[in-house]
Amino acid sequence: MLIQARQLYQSRDLLSSWTGRNIRARYQQSALGWLWAIFQPAAQVAIFSIIFTRIVPVDTGDIPYPVFSYVAIVPWTLLASSLTDMSQSIVTNMGLVTKIYFPREILPVAAMLARLMDFGIALGLLFILMVIFRVPFFPPALIFLPLILIIQLFLIVGIGLGMSAANVFFRDVQSLLALGLQLWFYASPIIYPISMVPERLRSLYFLNPMAGILESYRDILIYQRLPGPYLIQSAVITMIIFVIGTWFFKRVEFRFADII
Amino acid sequence: MKTHVKFENVTKQYNLGLTRTSLPSIISGWLQRSLRQDASSGVQSRSFLALEDVNFELRPGESLALVGANGAGKTTILKLLANITKPTSGSIYMDGHLSALIELGAGFHPDLTGRENIFLNGTILGLSRKQIASQFDEIVDFSELEQFIDTPVKRYSSGMTVRLGFAVASCINPEILLVDEVLAVGDAAFQQKCMHRIRDLIGKGTSIIFVSHNFYLIQAVCNRALYLEKGKVKNQGSPKEIIALYEQDLHQKRTAKLENLAHASDDETGDVEITRVDVYGTQSTESGSLVNNQPVQIQIHYNAYKPLGKVHVSVFIRRSDGLTCCMLRTKLDNFELSLDRGQGTVSLYLEPLQLITGTYYAEAWFLNESDSIGIVTRAGRSDWFSVKGSVLSYTDDSGVFEPHTRWSHQPYLPSSGNGTFAETQPVMTQLT
């Protein structure tokens, strides 16, 4: 694992050029360009706000529903779009993989980093929303926000590496992932508060690492409180997933070029 | 003594049976088998030995050519060296910074510009941005692409892509350089430049592994050759010996095929095979160039493995950058041609050649009686030939051919006295 980290560090120039390439390629022929980074979550928030304030009201306490859902949708979008891109990153670059050697992790990791830029932009809008809706700022967020983000990135890398490698052998992975993300979305506290989850199911509910991660984002950004123990639990589960994902990737990476 | 590369009993096996992995097809496979009640014909995972027990060693400054028919394992060796794939058994020892030129444009992204691709490709080859920046001018200079460096690579010709690829791979001073056939695409002048560059690198201690069907290049560059046949090392020695051996085997195979009726035709060669295409001039310059206003003969040597009856021949003359200069067809010239079993030569006379200064090659095809379907599995291709015309160098604007020409000039004379031009018809000179 350490060797791998060092290798990745040594290839940081390649990682940054490949990330840049991904970003440029994505926005090259698009009229809205980076505005999509805001557009997509904003549109989702608009839809959910209408449904869950007018049609099926959800109690979010003092927090206006748009802010409440946006705080979770932005990190969720980072996860979902990263995983989708990552799962295809090796397969779409087979031409490169079969002809030239470089650390293979570059492809999925760069796919994620390119999405991280979108996350940054969307987060900017979140702060604007917080000012508009007069949500007070919680200073410890400055420490906790990067910490939670790092845990989330480890989770994404773990799953994404595994998916990208498995997809080389079975293209079902892509379809399976789309389905899985849909289920996962509803199994995570995005459109509803955790208080709506029955007490006796909570311990089961927090086995989903995204539950702890998203709840922690809400804690520091809108509830002005420190994250509960579920953040530690999520971090532990994340590490297990990360180790399994990278182990699997490393185990099969040399077989990529043999698949014709 | 230091070793750059060492192969020890290397075997590489590919599984070809991996294609059948979808659940519906597995189930239908089960059903079919149980219906036939034939348990023995299970899903056989066919495997293919690309390399078997290969041993060789390469020291600094040595250059090794890999010689062999298609599918003999040359590219597999390069892929193993480039760390793209791992051997099934045996061990590979490598020491040194590697630079690989496995295929045309590998590592280039078509949407990015030449400049961006130099950085991308350089970082893929393991350099830092700083290192690339310091070599950038040298790379651009070598590739001769200053004008196009900010153009997306997808607009490059194949020759330009190869130039850029070779420039990046060779300017980073690798310790081991792998070159796979790519140089065949560049023009002859650039090939010469690459040969110089490769020799320079060898002088500095770079080891080179070279795959090419061009025996002239192999002899010019390599000091050793490895003859591969069906994944095994058949022989190794000096390039000259190995090439002689290889050509001898090739010749024997063809003769055997001609003599053996039972195996008169197979998929590999088809019914007729073009063994060589030669281009001769009646007169050439000291350097061996053809002269554009002199007659030239193109000879197509063939082996026909069965009587084919009426056939047609098409010959293309292509310039080094890939431009087709002309297509010459027996059909259009109403030349009747009929092939029996055996060997022969079809000759085409260009009287005179009429191409401008440049580097070209001729490509020949046999077609069926209606001139619609090619009947050779591979086109015959001549070596590069250079032509000396009246202009010594050409630009994109100078065209392709130089017809026999004559000029004349007839000024309209002003009518006498008042200095104005006469409104009379110009006098046409009779062209004879």
* Cβ-Cβ contacts under 8 Å, A97 against chain B: 84
Least confident of A97-111, B174-188, B227-241, B302-316: B174-188
Task: Write out chain A residues lying below 8 Å of B107, CB-based.
Answer: 96, 99-100
Q: Tell me which residue in B21, B79, B98 faces A257 most closely, judged by beta carbons.
A: B79
Residue among B407, B413, B358 at smallest CA distance from B384: B358
Partners of A98 on chain B (C-beta within 8 Å) are 79, 84
> Which chain A residues are closer than 8 Å to B119 by Cβ?
17
List, as one string, the DSSP characters of A43-96.
HHHHHHHHIIIIIS----TTS-HHHHHHHHHHHHHHHHHHHHHHHHHHHHTHHH
Choose between A193 and B358: higher pLDDT.
Answer: A193
- The fraction of chain B above a pLDDT of 90, given in percent, is 7
For position A176, what pLDDT does the model report?
93
Token digits of residue A204: 């089961």
User: B127 touching A, CB under 8 A?
Assistant: yes
Q: B84, A95: Cβ pair inside 8 Å? A: no
| B107 vs A100, A254, A258: nearest CB | A100
Q: Where are the domains of chain A?
A: 2-258
d(CA A237, CA A218): 20
User: Which of A216-225, B16-25, B118-127, B239-248 is least confident?
Assistant: B16-25
pLDDT of residue A255: 85
- For the stretch B169-186, what's the b/e string if a residue is b when 16 or more beta carbons lie within 10 angstroms of its beta carbon? bbbbebbbbbbbbbbbbb
CB contact under 8 A, B84 and A100: yes
Please check whether residue B66 is in contact with residue B227, taking contact to mean a CB–CB distance below 8 angstroms. no
Cβ distance B128 to A13 less than 8 Å, yes or no, reads: yes
SS3 letters across A146-209: HHHHHHHHHHHHHHHHHHHHHHHHCCHHHHHHHHHHHHHHHCCCCCCCHHHCCHHHHHHHCCCH
Task: Identify residue A227 by its one-letter amino acid code.
Answer: P
Instruction: Count Cβ atoms below 10 Å from residue B381 Cβ, excluding itself.
Output: 17
- Is residue A84 over pLDDT 50? yes
> What letter represents residue A9's amino acid?
Y
Q: pLDDT of A46-79, one tens digit each? A: 999 899 888 888 888 888 898 899 999 999 999 9
> If you measure CA to CA, which chain A residue comes closest to B84?
A101
Query: Is the pLDDT confidence value at A212 over 90?
Result: yes
The answer on pLDDT for B76 being more than 60 is: yes
Residues of chain A in Cβ contact (below 8 Å) with chain B: 10-11, 13-14, 17-18, 21, 24-25, 28, 95-102, 169-170, 254-255, 257-260
- Least Cα distance to B127 among B162, B168, B93 occurs for B168
Q: Would the pLDDT of B69 be above 70?
A: yes
Predicted pLDDT of residue A130: 84
Query: Chain B residue with minimal CA distance to A259?
Result: B18
Residue A16: count of CB within 10 angstroms of its CB: 15
Only one residue has tokens 């004379």, namely B413
- Average pLDDT for B374-387: 82
Chain A residues with beta carbon closer than 8 angstroms to that of B14: 258, 260
Report chain A residues whose CB lies below 8 A from the CB of B127.
13
pLDDT at site B43: 47
The mean pLDDT of chain A is 89
Q: What would you report as the CA-atom Rg of chain B, rounded to the nearest whole angstrom?
A: 28
Nearest CA in chain B to A172: B22
pLDDT at residue number A192: 92
CA distance B277 to B295: 17
Report the relative pairing of strands B385-388 and B290-291 from DSSP bridges.
parallel
Q: Kindly list the structural domains of chain B, giving each domain's residue range(s) and its CATH number in brackets, ordered by start.
A: 5-96+175-243 (3.40.50.300), 269-391 (2.70.50.60)
A226 or A6: which leads in pLDDT: A226
Each residue's pLDDT tens digit, A115-152: 999 999 999 988 888 888 888 888 888 899 999 999 99
Nearest residue of A to residue B13 by CA position?
A258
And the tokens for B38?
């034939």
pLDDT tier at A249, thresholds 50, 70, 90:
very high
Cβ contacts from A onto B, under 8 A: 66
Query: Is the pLDDT score of A189 beyond 90?
Result: yes
Distance from CA of A106 to the nearest CA of B (A): 10
Confidence (pLDDT) at B85? 84
Picking from B14, B106, B120, the nearest residue to A99 by CB comes out as: B106
pLDDT at B266: 53
| Chain A residues within an 8 Å CB radius of B82 | 99-101
Please judge whether B106 and A97 are an interchain contact, meaning their C-beta atoms are less than 8 angstroms apart.
Answer: no
**Tokens coding A162:** 């595994």
Asked if A169's CB is within 8 angstroms of B126's CB, the reply is no
Is residue B67 within 8 Å of B242, Cβ to Cβ?
yes
Beta-strand pair B358-367/B312-319:
antiparallel
Provide the shortest C-alpha distance from residue A30 to chain B (in Å): 14
Task: Name every chain B residue with its beta carbon within 8 A of the beta carbon of A100.
Answer: 82, 84, 100, 102, 106-107, 124-125
Amino acid at B314: S
ipTM for this model? 0.70
Identify the residue among A7, A8, A11, A13 best suited for mutation to test binding to B, counting B beta carbons within 10 A and taking the highest: A13
Q: What would the pLDDT profile of B401-428 be if each residue is shown by its tens digit?
A: 888 888 988 888 776 555 555 555 555 5
Task: Write down the pLDDT at residue B258.
Answer: 72
Phi-psi category of residue A213: left, alpha or beta, with phi > 0 → left and psi -120 to 50 → alpha? alpha
Residue B40 has pLDDT above 50, yes or no: no
Q: What are phi and psi of A238, to 5 degrees?
A: -60, -45
DSSP sequence for A111-150: HHHHHHHHHHHHHHHHHHHHHHTTPPP-TTHHHHHHHHHH
Residue B395 scores a pLDDT above 60 = no
Q: Which of residues 293-322 of B touch A (CB under 8 A)?
A: none
Judged against a pLDDT cut of 80, whether residue A171 lies above it is answered with yes
Identify the burial level of A193 via C-beta atoms within 10 angstroms of its C-beta, where 0-12 means exposed, 13-18 middle and 19 or more buried.
middle
Could you report the per-residue pLDDT of B216-271, keeping only the tens digit for each? 778 888 889 999 988 888 888 998 899 889 888 888 887 777 776 555 445 566 78
Task: With cut-offs at 50, 70 and 90, classify the pLDDT of residue A11.
Answer: confident
A10 contacts in B (CB within 8 Å)? 126
Q: What is the per-residue pLDDT for B39?
A: 45
What pLDDT was estimated at residue A18?
A: 84
* In contact, A104 and A253? CB cutoff 8 Å: yes
Is residue A254 classed as helix, strand or coil in its secondary structure? helix
pLDDT digits (tens, 9 = 90+) for B341-359: 888 999 999 888 888 877 7
Q: Which amino acid is at A222?
A: I
Q: To probe the interface with A, which of B46, B94, B109, B135 has the most A CB atoms within 10 Å?
A: B109
pLDDT confidence of residue B41: 43
The contacts of residue B175 (CB under 8 Å, 6+ apart) are: B4, B60, B95, B96, B97, B98, B205, B206, B207
DSSP state of B368: -
Structure confidence at residue B432 (pLDDT): 47
